[in-house]
Chains A and B, each alone.
Chain A
Amino acid sequence: MRAVARLLGFLRPFWREVLLAIALGVAAVASGIGLLGLSADIIARAALRPSIAELQVAIVGVRFFGLSRAVFRYLERLVSHSVNFRLLAQLRAWFFQKLEPLAPARLQGYQSGDLLSRSIRDVETLEDFYVRVVSPPLVALVTGLGVSLYFGQYAPLLGTAVAAGLFIAGAVLPAVSRRVSRPLADGLAASRARLNAALVEGLQGLSDLAAWGQEQAFLQRAERLDEDYLRRRARLDWTAAAFNALGLLVSLLTMLAVLWITAPLVRAGEVPGHQLAVFVVAALASFESVSPLALAAQQLEKSLEAARRLFELVDAGPEVAEPASPAELPVLPRLSVKGLCFAYPGGAGDVLRDLSFDLPYGKKLAIVGPSGAGKSTLFHLLVRFWEVQYGEIRLGGRPVQAYSPASLRRMMAVISQNGYIFNGTLRYNLLLADPGADEDRLWDALALTGLQEWARNLPEGLDTWLGEHGAQISGGERQRLLAARALLQKADLYLLDEPTANLDVNTERDLVQVLTRTLAPYSVIWVTHRLVSMDWMDEILVLEGGQVVQRGTHAELLAREGLYRRLWQAQQRPVLFVPGADMAGSEAG
């Protein structure tokens, strides 16, 4: 229930709007009951042939409710949607704010894409929390109490009967229904997931299926899974139909009970006869308030599950703490690493073992070795995504823990294959690195990375939309764009993490030339398994299994027998280079 309290907390900033929406919801339901009740009242009393004056009030009332019901409903929908959108904006901002300190260390255990899409679905589920979960029970509670009190004032038994009917239809049936259908729904979801997975993999692998003549086998498999899905669906559908019918039954039985209880009261003269007509009609109409509760129960469960997952995620403490009083950032700093060891939590052993090096400002260091040798981990520690466990990293003579992580990151620029291109214009993507940069500076950065021509030829120049929904860019352009963005960052230390991965030989050579030229004045650490332009480096560390096995300059290392020379020789094995491989994917399929 703590989750519920925390969820309700999100509504606090706009509680007035929430209350207004609930009041309007109550007014709409009440108008509906009032319209039918008063209509019955007019007819029943008119049957007694009073003077028309006696009916005047009721006639005005009926006309009012005839108008007001639709108006209240309209206003209620408007206000509750407004609440919904406020909640939506708030939840998203909250989620981002909470996630930011956790990335990426605390998000490692989750498969990244999976986590993200699930979290976004969870946030979306919670966006309906107010309209579907909070509002309906409150509206039902207020109107239910009102209706029960109205009946109760004539006879307690009458009030009790109506209250019981509303309670069964609004609370008991939804609860029982959830209990019964929950396992069915879970089984159905799993069955559906199996069916979908089979369909997706079958369609994506249709070439293979056709080539091996396995189309019929695939169709049969899909058919079997479909049958299982349909069988489960049928069970759930019939269960839902049963509970809906039970809800109808309860409302009709309540009306019948009202009739049965009121009849002797009328005969005894305790209740005026015309009131019976009003009772019967009002009892039926009052069930409108509880009809959305079955959905609300279902949605509450979903909301709580979503909330639990999100809270669990964001409640993890950040990996790296802010220092109480951050030290001032050093100028032209020397970087020294001593005895650095690191193991990821839950990972299989150390990824870095006793790493030491010294990098005076402006020098170049390469860290090479087979993939999986722990090369990227060093960067994670340098940019303070992970906390140093053992050993130390010093920058400008002080341990990195002394600086504020955010300002430390501004001294460093990372160029990696995983850099993200945002959905936005080219300009937007570049300005992220330096919000104050003017037009000339942007073009300079593009020129340095050889993107000038490319950018000029874009349909809208710097204002061309990039990213998933924007212009297609090739792998080479992408990497160069990431490099251009990093250059704009005005950093002191450049960290290159396999910046040429997935590029063909020509593009790789061009990009490396750009980097060696433009990064000459700065400190550089280059992590790679491709041995390109190694003669540029002041020192090369060869890493294997997290440990430095060789170190020296390119010439020294080549002269010696060892891993470096083996890697170098393996790379010289010829690969039939194909021009234009950069355009991969332009062929159909």
Chain B
Amino acid sequence: MNIDRRLIRLAASTAGLFGRVVGMGLLGGLLLIGQAWWLSQAVNGVFLGGMDVPALMRLVIGLLALILLRSLAAFLTEGLASRFGRDMGARLRRELLEHMVRLGPAYVRGEQTSDLGLAALQGVDELERYFSQYLPQVFWAAMIPLAILAAVFPRDPLSGLVLVLTAPLIPVFMVLIGKLAERHTRQQWTALRRMSAFFLDTLQGLTTLKLLGRSDQAGRIAAVGERYRQTTMSVLRVAFLSALVLEFIGTISTAIVAVQIGLRLLYGGIEFQPAFFILLLAPEFYAPLRQLGVRFHASMSGLTAAEKIYQVLDAQPEVDLEVNPGRPHLPCPPFSIRFEQVSYCYPSREQAAVQDLSFELRPGQLSALVGSSGTGKTTVTQLLLRFIDPQQGRILVNEVPLNDLPLADWRRQVAWVPQRPALFTGTIAENLRIACPEASEEQLRQAVRQAQLEDYVDSLPHGLDTMLGEGGKGLSGGQAQRLAIARAFLRDAPLVIFDEPTAYLDAEQEAMIEAAIQRLRQGRTLLIVAHRLPTVLHADQILVMQAGRIVEQGRHEQLARGGGLYAGMLGSLEVEP
């Protein structure tokens, strides 16, 4: 219910538009009452009053006008309601996106949270229906029946009473049965998902099934489908009862109204014209309530979506983005970066990702970070990029705490070469300019040259202006990483963080990466998450990590002799037979 309130508050913030939607729908309801009134007079006149042609003509013209107005109102109501839904959707989409950017990579990088973010964005569509269909209908279901009652009561209190007494049955049953149906619907959904998953699985494994000589699965698919039909039908027999009862209340009430008015007409208790007027209105009295029942389901999926959306919107950013006045300016490069007893533990993890890290990265030096996966190497790079901040200890840049530096300014001083760089739809040049939007064509060329990507770019039909497809298809892993290296050269930042590829590289690629690293280390502070021997051989210091701690530290010659973890790693390097 909390979510409901938040959504209504959101809707209220566009009170003007929402008010127009509700008002226009109400106007349609009033025009409907007017139409019923004139229609009943026309029928009465022709049937009992012997109405002459000009009089009928006048009524028909009046009715025609009403009909046109009513259709126009319906058009505006639906159009405005859609617009309301669209506006709310666009707004939530924007808020979500901005918030996720604020939450930063540390939040979005988690696999579950990234799915959550996408699910939330897709859920906005569901929520649009909540705004465009359900929410206005709540108001119409309250107002239009009231307006009809107001028209019926003065003319025939007894019929009004029938309507008043039967009307509450609809929402009551709707809630009672709705709860039941909801559970059934969810069960049915689970069953359907399972069956679809089985189908997909069988198709995905088709080649394997064929190789195993077991591709006779059609019968099994049919059997699973039939079993699903049987279980689902038994569920639906109950679930559809809700619609049955709702429909039943509407129709049987109309029948009651008709019979009781008819009987009173027989004894002169009421005139034909108001009687017919009431009969015309009776089904319209229940219609908005029934429509609410129908749209209630749209609201349910919308609410589920809203839960996901608010789950994201309520998450707090890891890193404080606010820049306080009086904070120190960025120190001048080159940088000497010192970790002092730094610890960090991811939320929802018990064990700290890094613990009591202390080391120093010196200008012009290459530091290599080694260790098996899961030992905290990535966490170190995330701390340096300030995707996350230390929970204990601190990181000092030329003796100034990193946390105190303005975030955007700091990140401008860092170039990052991840293992799998993200490529965006656009040209190679656009993908490079991410690192330096104002770079000239000549600068791009030079960066591409330095990253050993020039031959490849030259081989492309449009050179730097070649489009990279969705997700950068068309670039191999090695090429994508060299593109990231080119970005690093473009930015020319004093601190470079390089995540070496773990995948097997051929000799040529290996040489290219080697050359790029040698060029990058000139005058910069360079930290490499290393997987290759040449890198560690040339490193000024090697930091060996295990279970979130630095267990060994030094140059290759020292560590290789030491007989510790690092020496053990080298030992397992024995060459295959």
Question: By the criterion CB–CB under 8 Å, are B225 and A586 in contact?
Answer: no
Within 8 A of A (CB), among B268-322: 268, 271-272, 275-276, 279-280, 283
Contact with A along B363-376 (1 / 0, CB 8 A): 00000001111111
Tell which of B213, B265, B276 has the most Cβ of chain A within 10 Å. Answer: B213
Q: Are A208 and B218 in contact (CB under 8 A)?
A: no
Contact A74 B240 (CB under 8 A): yes
With A62-B258, A244-B78, A489-B212: A210-B418 Cβ-Cβ less than 8 Å:
no
Interface: B101 (CB within 8 A): yes
* Interface residue? A535 (CB, 8 A): yes
Query: Number of A interface residues, CB 8 Å?
Result: 151
9 A-B pairs with least C-beta separation: A89-B225, A205-B422, A39-B258, A66-B255, A85-B229, A245-B75, A580-B372, A47-B272, A237-B82
Pair A203/B244 contact, Cβ less than 8 Å? no
Contacts of A39 in B (CB 8 A): 254-255, 257-258, 262, 279
CA distance A450 to B110 in the complex (A): 33
User: Given A46-B262, A78-B237, A422-B205, A273 and B47 touching (CB < 8 A)?
Assistant: yes
- The interface residues of chain B lying within 8 Å CB-to-CB of A535 are 577
Query: A212 — which chain B residues lie within 8 A by C-beta?
Result: 411, 416, 434-435, 487, 491
Which residues on the B side are within 8 Å of A213 (C-beta)? Answer: 408, 411-412
Question: Per a CB cutoff under 8 Å, which of A208, A412, A424 touches B421?
Answer: A208
A sample of 9 inter-chain contacts (CB < 8 A) reads A67-B248, A89-B226, A93-B218, A104-B207, A234-B86, A246-B71, A266-B46, A570-B507, A579-B568
Smallest CB separation, A418 vs chain B (Å): 8
When the two chains form their complex, are residues A199 and B259 in contact, meaning their CB atoms are under 8 A apart? no
Please state if B83 and A234 are interface contacts (CB–CB under 8 Å): yes
CB pair A414 B259 closer than 8 Å:
no
Q: Is the CB of B83 within 8 A of A52?
A: no
Closest-by-CB residue of A relative to B275 is A43
Query: A363 near B: Cβ within 8 Å?
Result: no
Tell me if A587 and B101 are in contact (CB < 8 A): no
Q: How far is the CB of B502 from chain A (nearest CB, A)?
A: 6
Closest to B228 in A: A85
Q: How many residues of B contact A (CB 8 A)?
A: 158
Q: How far is the CA of A248 from the CA of B31 in the complex (A)?
A: 13
| Cα A215 to Cα B64 with chains together (Å) | 57
Q: Are B105 and A55 in contact (CB under 8 A)?
A: no
Residue of A120, A208, A485 near B200 (CB, 8 A) is: A120
Q: Are A226 and B229 in contact (CB under 8 A)?
A: no
Q: Give Cα A98 to B47, complex, Å.
A: 66
In contact, A92 and B118 (Cβ under 8 angstroms): no
Residues of A within 8 A of B121 (CB): 199
* A5 sits at the interface (CB 8 A): no
Q: Is the CB of B259 within 8 A of A578?
A: no
A96 close to B (CB within 8 Å) = yes
Complex contact A73–B506 (CB within 8 A): no
Q: Are A66 and B251 in contact (CB under 8 A)?
A: yes
A47 vs B272: C-alpha distance when bound (angstroms): 6
Is residue B221 contacting chain A, with contact meaning CB distance below 8 A?
yes
B530 in contact with A66 (CB, 8 Å): no
Whether A410 lies near B82 (C-beta < 8 A) is no
Contact mask B223-265 → A, CB, 8 Å, 1/0?
Answer: 0111011001100110011011101100110111111011101
Mask of A252-264 contacts with B, CB within 8 angstroms, 1/0: 1101100110110
What secondary structure prevails in chain B residues at the interface with A? helix
| A583 adjacent to B372 (CB under 8 Å) | yes
**Which residues of B from 192 to 209 have beta carbons under 8 Å from A?**
196-209
Is A59's CB under 8 angstroms from B276's CB? no
A20 on interface, CB distance cutoff 8 Å: no
A266 to B266, CA, bound (A): 22
A154 within 8 A of B: no
Q: Of B101, B209, B576, which is within 8 A of A215 by CB?
A: B101
Bound together, the chains give a CA A298 to CA B423 distance in angstroms of 37
Contact B531 A578 (CB under 8 A): yes
A521 to chain B, nearest CB (A): 21
A169 at the interface (CB under 8 A from B): no
Which residue from A55, A78, A215, A277 sits with its C-beta under 8 Å from B266? A55
Closest to A216 in B: B101
At the interface with chain B, which of A140-148, A217-225, A437-445, A538-546?
Answer: A217-225
In the bound complex, residues from chain A placing their C-beta under 8 Å from that of B200 are 116, 120
Of the candidates A71, A210, A409, A506, the one whose C-beta lies within 8 Å of that of B572 is: A506
Q: How far is the CA of A406 from the CA of B212 in the complex (A)?
A: 9
Residues of A within 8 A of B576 (CB): 505, 509, 531-532, 571-572
Are A576 and B370 in contact (CB-based, < 8 A)? yes
Residues of A within 8 A of B247 (CB): 69-70, 73-74
| The stretch of B12-20, B89-97, B175-183 that contacts the partner chain | B89-97
Contacting A252 at CB < 8 Å: which of B51, B71, B507?
B71
Interface residue A126 (Cβ < 8 Å from any Cβ of B): no
Name the contact of A230 in the complex, choosing from B50, B90, B109, B531 (C-beta under 8 A). Answer: B90
